[in-house]
Amino acid sequence: MGTNAGLRNIEGRTLPEADVPALQLTSVSYAYGKRQALDDISFSIAPGRFAVLLGLNGAGKTTLFSLISHLFATRQGNIHVFGHDINRKSGDALRRLGIVFQARTLDLDLSVHQNLAYHASLHGIGSRQANQRINELLMSIDMSDRLHEKARSLSGGQIRRVEIIRALLHQPSLLLLDEATVGLDIKSRATILSDIRKLVQNEGISVLWATHLIDEVSHADQVIVLDRGKLIANGPVHDVIKRAGAETINEAFSRLTGIVALTPGQKP
Amino acid sequence: MTDIAGNVPLPRSSARKRFGLMQYLVCLKGILIREGLRYLNQRERFISSLVRPLLWLFIFAAGFRQVLGVSIIPPYQTYVLYEVYITPGLCGMILLFSGMQSSLSMVYDREMGNMRTLLVSPFPRWFLLVAKLLAGVAVSITQVYAFLFIAWFWGVKAPPIGYLLTLPALFLAGMMLGALGMLLSSVVKQLENFAGIMNFVIFPMYFASSALYPLWRVQEASPLLYKICQLNPFTYAVELIRFAFYGQVEWTSLAVVCGFTLAFMTGAIIAYDPSRGLTIRKQEGGNT
């Protein structure tokens, strides 16, 4: 692919590959032995969109993330990241991905800087450029003063924010966040969500945000609902609400998954 | 958090070209530094890696010197003290334990989730594993030289040039044992299961080898054990190191060590290939 092929311009910034979906899944299935975890999943996310992957615990969200991030191989179906097949061109696909896993993945015995520098090296970014970017990103989250502190000394919310800027270090075009706000207080949750939304708005980054917290869905989002390994809804929020014959996304989700309606912020 | 969009002129990922040699070296350097830092953060690991062989040297070898005579066998050209004989075996022991320690740390990393950071790097999986292996070997070689330094004051001295010439042998032996550790880490599901590795891998490999006794001695005592020793790749790692101390190459050992390194490494790469093995898949079966 040419270096400038398919670029578009948003607010003076060039963005990649506008013509191809940021993420495209076609008939993806996955089983753990005889237990079907994902069954014939197909959807796509356009560049610059914020997509929320909604599902109860056990719906298949983490399996889906593991397939997209190539931790598991896709045996049935295809996954493309900006047109690159994750199985055949995993390197090309992975360099476009920034991933925040559900479980904490910072090395607690290393400092914030050492963790970030390690990640930068795993993307082939030299130390000078990495340090510059680390400083800038840490400053943006008001954590410059924690640069040389062990990750162990950070709070849960701070660890999560460092993990998010780590996922952004190599300037990915698609950001995957698996239950990124789980275990955080309301303020931290709101801050993280708001910052990720700013990234989509200002940088044109595509985001796949997996959650089971319905109040994290905004009216402009694309919503993908997984239930017991099956895709039961996919589209703009208002479409999903309309198709479910509901008034709110909360009610739509409850109807679609067959659970009792929840109050906003309540865990399904 | 104000705005986490960056202004550093790093090209967008999609606009970057394929990785060149420089990027591979950056990645290797990063993995080496990370392993080194982890090692420095675990001082007890460094100390225990030294105490174990030193106990063997100071106590076990001193006692055995009186009951076990070592005849003149290559590469030695004269009678040597048992401490001298056992030293290459103790170097091998450090590499063996270190290789298994690296394997343990991979299982730990997997349980803690750190392993994913490595595995979702866009570099080829084989390269990432080899880099991790190299980092582990670099750490274990520093342990060996620290041990040899102390042993030198105990009177266990090889020809000065031997300390340099043994470096490639230590590297190869370390690669073989590290690759074995990596392969084992792919099949060990939980940290708790790692104790089994001690009983079923480390001790049998160490004791059924030429590390403690010359093979002719073993043959006299038990022809069956002698055969087992001959089948044990650790025997060849020890002999490769032993000969290297005296500036000699034991070609059979070299071939066996290279062959097993290749076999173990291939096995580990296959095991960590998401389309084949990957233990994460087994481990996370319930976390959908």
> Hey, of A7, A89, A118, which one would you mutate to test binding to chain B, going by the most B CBs within 10 A of its CB?
A118
More confident residue, B22 or B81: B22
Angle at which helix B233-245 crosses helix B251-271, to 10 degrees, equals: 130
pLDDT, tens digit (0-9, with 9 covering 90-100), for A113-160: 999 999 999 999 999 999 999 999 998 888 889 999 999 999 888 898
Say what the pLDDT of residue B187 is. Answer: 76
Q: Does A190 touch chain B (CB under 8 A)?
A: no
In the predicted structure, residue A27 carries a pLDDT above the cut 80? yes
Give mean pLDDT, residues B94-121: 81
Say what the pLDDT of residue B67 is. Answer: 62
In the predicted structure, residue A35 carries a pLDDT above the cut 70? yes
Residue A203: which of B5, B30, B37 has the nearest Cβ? B5
Give mean pLDDT, residues B163-181: 94
- C-beta separation of B38 from A229 below 8 A: no
More confident residue, B211 or B16: B211
Would the CB atoms of A61 and B288 count as touching at under 8 Å?
A: yes
Average pLDDT, chain B: 82
Say what the pLDDT of residue B287 is. Answer: 46
> Cis omega before residue B11 (within 30°)?
no
CA-based max dimension of chain A: 55
Give mean pLDDT, residues B24-40: 92
Would the CB atoms of A202 and B5 count as touching at under 8 Å?
A: yes
User: Which residue is associated with the tokens 């991790």?
Assistant: B132
Give mean pLDDT, residues A179-189: 83
Domain ranges of chain B: 43-275
Query: Which residues is A52 bridged to in the sheet?
Result: A209, A223
More confident residue, B98 or B46: B98
Say what the pLDDT of residue B191 is. Answer: 63
Say what the pLDDT of residue A260 is. Answer: 56
Would the CB atoms of A136 and B124 count as touching at under 8 Å?
A: no
Say what the pLDDT of residue A215 is. Answer: 87
Say what the pLDDT of residue B201 is. Answer: 83
Cβ-Cβ contacts under 8 Å for B188 (sequence gap 6 or more): B103, B107, B194, B196, B197, B279
What's the token pair of residue B8?
């550093």
Q: Which of residues 136-165 of A touch B (CB under 8 A)?
A: 136-137, 140-142, 161, 164-165
Q: Which of residues 30-69 of A touch B (CB under 8 A)?
A: 32-33, 35, 37, 58-63, 66, 69
pLDDT, tens digit (0-9, with 9 covering 90-100), for B196-242: 777 788 889 999 998 888 888 788 888 999 999 999 999 999 999 99
> Hey, of A105, A137, A226, which one would you mutate to test binding to chain B, going by the most B CBs within 10 A of its CB?
A105
- C-beta separation of B265 from B133 below 8 A: yes
Write down the ipTM of this complex: 0.82
Domain ranges of chain A: 1-96+172-268, 100-171
Half-sphere exposure of A160 (CA within 13 A, CB side): 24
Average pLDDT, chain A: 86
Residues of A in contact with B108 (CB under 8 A): none
Which of A181, A200, A201, A182 shows the shortest CA–CA distance to A191? A181
Residue A129: which of B2, B8, B117 has the nearest Cβ? B8
pLDDT, tens digit (0-9, with 9 covering 90-100), for B123-156: 998 899 899 999 999 999 999 999 999 999 988 8
CATH architecture of A1-96+172-268: 3-Layer(aba) Sandwich (3.40)
